Amino acid sequence: MEELTNRTFIGEAVAAGMALADLNPQLQHAVLVPEGYSLEDLERFHDQPRRTRQQVAIHNATDFGLYVNRFKDSETTIYADLEHTRFTAVLDHPGAGDPAWGQHRATYACPHSRSWKTWTAADGKAMRQADFAKFIEDNLPDVQQPSGSDILTISRTLEAKKKVDFQSGVRLDNGEVQITFNEEIKGTAGKGTIEIPETFELGIPVFEGGDHYALTARLRYRINDGQLVMWFDLLRPERLLEDAFANTLEQIRRDIGPDVMMLHADAPAR
């Protein structure tokens, strides 16, 4: 009973003090809370929150535009971050002389396609010829030039030549590489060749659900003690990444509006 009386007295004292000071509860920035008491936010008891606090991850550019258009206002700001291939919309962005919390955000992180991740992960990594052949065959639908049947024949030939002694390789006039090997069949030694393209072309999307791009891969090989090691080097994949990001930026500008701010590469991610 004594505790209740004390709380009532304190509440009345605070109210009286505010009245004497002519304080507006809507404008005050702080209150004095006696020791042993805590300040509770009553927002959860209201019919709706005071503001939207939501951070949404969107998985394609179209849905990103739909979400932003649903909630944007005159101060909504969109940031384009090429370094992290990401777009961030701050829907409750501060305006000039008009502070805001910046806690309602939508992000489209431009997820890379499975094909893009597969080929870029293997870029420049040396493999035994049998492993290289299996990699090519597993990802055959991504190869546009030479034809799928030609690549399949080459990969299966490489797969079959596991126990041969590779000798040398020369570049032919037709742009292919001819690799010479010695093979012993039923006690008889014979010499053979394999012709492989110096380059091949992929057709893959950079981002999930995005357009397909042509990407050239240069075939590399090395012969060590009769063992053939192969790999490929992708030619300027960063150019495709920049182009895909630029196309996504144009789509977002068409869907939402032209005011998209480009973040500098050294700027902190928002």
Give pLDDT tens digits for 76-131.
889 999 999 999 999 888 877 777 777 789 999 999 999 999 999 999 999 987 88
Phi–psi pair at 13, nearest 5 degrees = -65, -40
Mean pLDDT of 48-54: 68
Strand-pair category, 104-108 with 54-58: parallel
Q: Where are the alpha helices (DSSP H) in the chain?
A: 2-21, 61-71, 114-122, 129-138, 148-160, 237-255
Show the 3-state SS of 53-93.
Answer: CEEEEECCHHHHHHHHHHHCCCCCEEEEECCCCEEEEECCC
More confident residue, 260 or 120: 120
* pLDDT (tens digit per residue) in 9-22: 656 655 655 555 55
For residue 187, name the pLDDT band (cuts at 50, 70, 90): very low
Q: What is the mean pLDDT of the chain?
A: 79
* pLDDT (tens digit per residue) in 224-245: 777 778 899 999 999 999 999 9
What CA–CA distance (Å, rounded) separates 54 from 95? 19
pLDDT at 75: 86
3-class DSSP state for residue 120? helix
pLDDT at 92: 85
What CA–CA distance (Å, rounded) separates 177 from 158? 13
Mean pLDDT of 169-187: 64
Lowest mean pLDDT among 50-64, 149-163, 218-232: 149-163
pLDDT at 169: 66
Percentage with pLDDT > 70 across the chain: 71
Using N-to-C axis directions, what is the helix angle for 237-255 and 61-71, rounded to 10°? 30
Mean pLDDT of 129-145: 88
Mean pLDDT of 162-190: 64
Beta bridge partners of 58: 108
The pTM of this model reads 0.72
